[in-house]
Chain A
Amino acid sequence: MENDKTVTDSQLNGTARIATKEMTLNMGPQHPATHGVLRLVLDLDGETITKCTPYVGYLHRGVEKLAENRNYLQILPLTDRLDYISSMSNNLGYCYAVENLFGIKVPERTEYIRTIVGEMSRIANHLLWLATHALDIGAMTVFLYCFREREMILDLFERLCGARLTVTYPRIGGLKNDVDEQWLKDLKVFIDDFPGKVKQYETLINKNRIWLRRTKGIGVISAEEAINWGMSGPVLRGSGVPYDVRKVMSYGVYDKVDWKICTGKNGDVYDRYRVRMDEFHQSVSIIKQCIDQIPEGPIMADAPKFTLPSKDKVLTDMEHLIHHFVLITKGPQTAPEGELYFATEVPKGELGFYFVSDGSGKPYRMRVRSPSFVHVSALPKLCEGELVADIIANIGSIDIVLGECDR
């Protein structure tokens, strides 16, 4: 697909005719820097991208169709597989949306624990983002340091619920199990340590000339354009829009702790990097306050129609055993009729669930509004007119996961 084009380059010396070739370059779907199975077709004029066409759908598993055929309890594990880098946040987003639909109020202790694990998931996600983003641009050492800390968070997740990556820890109306004192103490140790680790990463790249040249002024998107494209999360905040779902539609205990929205100014790759680095500190601060404030109490809401009874009751009490059995085999039989959109701030942006309920135990329609889908759609806007090498920096900076994009 090459078309020869001969142009008179009179700007050069007035007489010479230079033959230039427009080239079409296929990138992906198997490419280490596309963070999954993203395929891009790039039209190049020399090294400049004239047109970028993303192709997605290679990881389409039909989660929305599957959800229409499963009951509300069975959908929860599907949400892990959307954004598998920060599955905890996806679970939480789903649970909050369903609880709002059902009208369940979650106990306060649960809200605190959910906020803690949600922020841990944000740290883990941003660590993996920083690791791979830096690796793509050529800073290899950062990768190894970031994985050192990410591992610690995954270990804590494993101790909490037995799984490291696809956790399925929250439940509709509560949590799988409570946290113990020792776990909170160990988390505190990690959290106290972590800001020093962030400083370490920053000493590696913050003043690195190559890093600055590769990120500053690259992939610029203005605030108006970012809003118009429907961007969210650190990408939108990098352009200077103080929009964070945690503040706007407060859920969890984000209104009870003290934290601020991190924003950038220029909307380039570097500012998006800065926003995420600042969010590390905000997350640390949120977790610290939560550990100090966390109250005692139950972890499951009192809504027997939808929530499972606790395991020790199931093993000792006949009624609870039957209750458990019925909910697991048949699922919830009814749900309030109506439609509801509920969004949460996951590490990548605004994850929204739109439910249409017809009153049965299965959602009539479940729509997943995933941030990655929107961000990939805006990729041509970010990289057209820039050099082919910058597309790597751009893909890294919007922090996409194709499992969530294709659903």
Chain B
Amino acid sequence: MEPLEIIEKLKEKFATEIMDVSEFRGQVSVSVRPAKIMDMCRYLHDDPDLYMDYLADLCGVDYPDRKYRFEVVYNLFSIKHRHRLLIKALILEKDPNVDSVVPIWAGANWHEREACDMYGIVFNGHPDLRRILMPDDWVGYPLRKDYPLKGPEGAEYKEFEELKVLHSHDKEWNIQS
């Protein structure tokens, strides 16, 4: 199915949810309100004509100057029909959260954890929402645009909890640091 046909089909069901449709080099992306993302994804996944069974990717994007600061991009693909659609859920800066799609695509699990780790977006109903790439006690969200490339300015090196436990034996074992 052509991407624009998919949008038409989607509009029939979720007309109020769709905010914007854009096309670039034949790839269509659609911006939607996050409230009904779960229903929308379920529909895209289950409908026999769409059958988007493959979640190729899920990631966050940060636009500090926009009204909706964060975007969560769902990259959907249908292995059966071979069509692709990018769904972008627009999320407000204050209390950023969106429903988790893990019940639909199990593969979303780690992608959502990463988006949470890097942008601080909370995925409601996620089975195991912890930091994934950064250490558990890391402060801040590294991929946000206001996070400096080399870490926060003037921040002192803070020992991680794990290292503290390791070094707690230094005296006892006569290790000089």
B36 within 8 A of A: no
Is the pair B54, A227 in contact by a Cβ cutoff of 8 Å?
yes
Total interface residues on A, CB under 8 Å, equals 41
Is the pair B24, A340 in contact by a Cβ cutoff of 8 Å?
yes
B143 within 8 A of A: yes
Flag the segment in A124-132, A150-158, A370-378 that touches B.
A370-378
A105 within 8 A of B: no
Interface of B is mostly: mixed
CB closest residue in chain B, given A365:
B61
State in angstroms the CA–CA spacing of A379 and B84 once bound together. 26
Interface residues of B in 15-68 (CB under 8 A from A): 22, 24-25, 27, 29, 53-57, 59, 61-62
In the bound complex, residues from chain B placing their C-beta under 8 Å from that of A230 are: 54-56, 105-108
Is the pair B105, A60 in contact by a Cβ cutoff of 8 Å?
no
Flag the segment in A139-147, A166-174, A209-217, A348-356 that touches B.
A348-356
Is the pair B106, A228 in contact by a Cβ cutoff of 8 Å?
yes
CB of A52 to closest CB in B, whole Å: 13
In the bound complex, residues from chain A placing their C-beta under 8 Å from that of B142 are: 62, 65
State in angstroms the CA–CA spacing of A66 and B143 once bound together. 10
CB closest residue in chain A, given B57:
A369
In the bound complex, residues from chain A placing their C-beta under 8 Å from that of B53 are: 227-228
B9 within 8 A of A: no
Flag the segment in B89-97, B132-140, B153-161, B169-177 that touches A.
B132-140
In the bound complex, residues from chain A placing their C-beta under 8 Å from that of B110 are: 373-374, 376-377
B interface footprint on A395-406 (CB within 8 Å = 1, 0 otherwise): 000000000001
B86 within 8 A of A: yes
Interface residues of A in 333-359 (CB under 8 A from B): 338-341, 343, 350, 352, 354, 356
Known contacts being A341-B84, A369-B57, is A57 close to B107, with CB within 8 Å? no
A-B contact pairs, 7 of them (CB 8 A): A57-B131, A62-B142, A101-B25, A227-B54, A228-B105, A343-B56, A374-B110
Mark B residues whose CB is within 8 Å of A. Answer: 22, 24-25, 27, 29, 53-57, 59, 61-62, 73, 75, 79, 82, 84, 86, 105-110, 114, 118, 131-135, 142-143, 147, 149
